[in-house]
Amino acid sequence: MAMQGIPYSEALRNYSVKTFREPAGEVQEPEQLLRSFHPDYYPGTTVTLRVGVNRGDACHHQLAEVLQADARIDEADLAGAAIRETDVLVIGGGGAGCAAALVAARAGARVILTTKLRLGDSNTVMAEGGIQASIEKDDTPQMHLDDTLRAGHYRSDRRLVARMVADGPDVIRWLIQQGMQFDLDKYGDILLRRAGGTSANRVAYYRDYTGLEMMRVLRESVTNSNIEVLDYSPAVELLSNEEGHCGGAVISSLKDYSYTLVKAKAVIVATGGIGRMHINGFPTSNHFGATGDGLVLAYRLGAGLRDLDSFQYHPSGLTWPQHLAGTLITEGVRSAGAYILNGQGERFVDELETRDLVSSAILRECAEGRGVEVGDDIRGVWLDTPGLELRNPGTLAARFPKLIQLGKRSGIDLYHQPLLIYPTLHYQNGGVVIDENGCSSVPRLYCVGEVSGGIHGKNRIMGNSLLEIISFGRRAGAHAAEKSHRRGHKKVSIEHVSNLRRELTLAEMPMEKQGPALFPECAKFENDSDYDGLRRNRKGRP
């Protein structure tokens, strides 16, 4: 059990704004710090998968539960369902999905983009810090690669990282060509800030609204194209053909409560991560829809997954006031020079270390009684915004308008009072195994963005996710469009669901839970009588 921290009011009384504070120095024995405090190493968090391609692999138990859940539908649900045909079906309306759809459509493919909520409802829109691209004259793609591999503890797929870092500068150009703005210096050059654990200023940004700026531009591009967008339409199952290749998806409509079979020559899954599963009980910075649907869909069809026991906890989630717990404060604030202080007012870690180390150090301070304690179970450390403003006057207003809004909503004057932060569940490091075009191990099934794995190894650096979604979104879109030229549609079914049920039965697994989850438990989707039409055959199940 964690030791009692320093009471909030006492810690606040002891706090004063200072220009200089002693740096913490390098982390001694980083491996030991992670093993002792990083949530990935909490005892009992992983189980061994018993069903599917990754049978025998370690997997976080919450994720294992959805990967080994029953399907939401069976053949009977599809009787009378409308059937549509397209060349490329994109599942997911965040940055990766939009980039893939745009590139595929411009290459001449007919594209349907289906999204669980509205177009743009995603983690992309919430991204703050920026996007990595080696642009500065002293920086190189090689350094970008080296930094990414090192921060990921050398567990990345080097080939994927090499493609991504080489794409970086052209991704920024492509985004500008879609109409995205970046913060520029007085000569019109792109401003770059440094991500934790990296060797150069490499993160391009737009205020702390980088994702919002990116998403509203991509959304506008998509809605002004010939891409057909199906909103409020979560995919509940993929379709397979006789050869086991992907042949489309079953889409449910939250508007008219019906199922549609969309037959496609290629399917690009871009559904994002699983933050809203609140892995290890942590609050999350993630979007409402981040429930790991794509992982479940792809796994059932036979796609291999990787690193299912590795998650990112972002060091600076707001932890007080409680109703805003988990809200992200960009790493850009630390990059601009903000310190993190424990309840005794001391810096205890290099603020620009990799995220896994900074988070572990925060958890250590809290566990060992040097954190700030608000009440039962609410503790954290200070993010010293007043100190930042003292050293760099005007920075907060010029660079971090979203943070200022957050301060207002918290009722905390961040010019004079530090914010209380605690790690927040931020990112799924692993995911579907892909190649350089985003192809999974199932033919005609592509996975891009957070749903995919292999790029970030065991720990991601700031700005690499926004780069990844555009880099691999474009790659998958181009490849899928080209391949779908020469193909016809084949007979499709959800036969793989029967195989899944057989496997689950043989492994004596419980079948009460159904996946994909679609929504977090708090939203009570499963009890919402509005959606009974999507569950009409459920009672008759064995």
Partner 1 sequence: MSEKTENLVKVTIDGKEILAPGKLSTIQALWHAGYPRVKSVGCLEGVCGSCRIMARRAGSTEVTMELGCQTLIEEGMEVSFLVFPTPSHHTYELGEIRNSWEVQAHFSRIFPEADHCRNCHGCTVSCPKGIQVERGVELAVKGRFREAGELFVECVMCNFCMTACPEFIAPNHVGIFARRVTAYFHIRPSNLINRLEKLRRGELQIRDQ
Determine if the peptide bond prior to 423 is cis (ω within 30°).
Answer: no
240 three-state secondary structure: strand
Q: How far is CA 205 from CA 194, 212, 391, in A?
A: 11, 11, 22
Sign, CA dihedral 139-144-145-150, equals positive
Overall size of the chain counted in residues = 542
Between 18 and 216, CB nearer to partner 1: 216
Give the tokens for residue 451: 């749903």
DSSP state of 281: G
* Cα gap 31→112, rounded to integer Å: 46
Which residues have C-beta within 8 Å of that of residue 446, sequence separation ≥ 6? 100, 266, 267, 268, 269, 434, 437, 438, 439, 440, 476, 479, 480
- We find the least distance from the C-beta atom of residue 126 to partner 1, in angstroms, to be 5
- We find the least distance from the C-beta atom of residue 229 to partner 1, in angstroms, to be 9
- We find the least distance from the C-beta atom of residue 350 to partner 1, in angstroms, to be 27
In what helix (H) or strand (E) does residue 470 lie, and over which residues does it extend?
helix 464-485
Determine if the peptide bond prior to 542 is cis (ω within 30°).
Answer: no
DSSP state of 519: S
Between 325 and 361, CB nearer to partner 1: 325
| Residue that is written with structure tokens 């990083």 in the block | 38
Question: Is 193 annotated as catalytic?
Answer: no
Between 247 and 283, CB nearer to partner 1: 283
Between 323 and 486, CB nearer to partner 1: 323
* Cα gap 539→541, rounded to integer Å: 6
Task: Tell me, letter by letter, the H, E, C secondary structure of 306-362.
Answer: ECCCCEEEEEEEECCCHHHCCCECCCHHHHCCCCEECCCCCECCCCCCCHHHHHHHH
- We find the least distance from the C-beta atom of residue 156 to partner 1, in angstroms, to be 13
Between 141 and 304, CB nearer to partner 1: 141
Identify the active-site residue in 50, 306, 355, 444.
Answer: 355
- We find the least distance from the C-beta atom of residue 170 to partner 1, in angstroms, to be 7
Sign, CA dihedral 152-154-155-160, equals positive
Question: Partners of 249 in the beta sheet?
Answer: 238, 262
- We find the least distance from the C-beta atom of residue 113 to partner 1, in angstroms, to be 14
Q: What are phi and psi of 460, to 5 degrees?
A: -100, 150
In what helix (H) or strand (E) does residue 112 lie, and over which residues does it extend?
strand 111-114
What angle do helix axes 158-178 and 210-223 make, rounded to 10 degrees? Answer: 70
- We find the least distance from the C-beta atom of residue 254 to partner 1, in angstroms, to be 7
Between 106 and 347, CB nearer to partner 1: 106
| Residue that is written with structure tokens 């061994």 in the block | 48
- We find the least distance from the C-beta atom of residue 343 to partner 1, in angstroms, to be 24
Between 302 and 516, CB nearer to partner 1: 516
Between 27 and 162, CB nearer to partner 1: 162
Active site residues: 355
